[in-house]
Amino acid sequence: MKKLLVLAALVTTMTVSVASAKEFNGDRWQWFYSNSDYTGKVDLNTLSYDPETDTATAWAVWVRTTGIQDLISYKIHFSNNSLDVFDRNTYVNGSDAIKRNQNFNGQNHVAAPGMGDEALIASVKGLVGRDAKLADYKKQQANEAQARAEAKAQQEKAQQEARIAQQKEAERKAKHERNRSIIRGIFGI
């Protein structure tokens, strides 16, 4: 009887721990990389992209075959294929309790070729639509630069026309004054 109670208690405990385990399998988690040691998934709900800096932010989880799950926040620099690492929450055996929290304060590293970080960058790049958004941003910047150049050219043209008009007015006044002086000289006024 004691064995049966112990077995029931053990099954109940296991069921409760599995039910409360940290899950990274919902619709918000997109797989991007696996090898014999771990699987990487990115959180679709935390993705963002800034075309001005050509960077993205993302949370990704690394589910290791050892039962450790590392949930890490990243800032991705597409221009040099590097990542800034910020918070890292480590969960053990799928527990909801954070075993260890580390803040790397944006420590940067370049993604190694063919590894999980490189796959994360490529995945986020596609998920945020980086290429199209960056192209749109560059086109917008070029259009704005062209509009500024055209406005500056218009302003310079207007200033040039104003200088010419002032010069003509000054010449007209000078001519008028010369004519008055000549007339005064002739009549002795």
Examine the pLDDT at 47 and tell me if it is beyond 80: yes
Q: Which helix (H) or strand (E) holds 23?
A: none
Q: Which two tokens stand for residue 164?
A: 């010419």
Range among 96-100, 107-111, 126-130, 158-162 rated most confident = 126-130
- pLDDT digits over 77-91, tens only? 999 999 999 999 999
Calculate mean pLDDT across residues 12-28: 54
pTM of the model: 0.65
29 backbone dihedrals φ, ψ, rounded to 5°: -100, 120
pLDDT above 90 as % of the chain: 43
Interacting residues of 164 by C-beta distance below 8 A, sequence separation 6+: none
Distance CA 39, CA 163 (A): 71
What is residue 17's predicted lDDT score, i.e. its pLDDT?
33
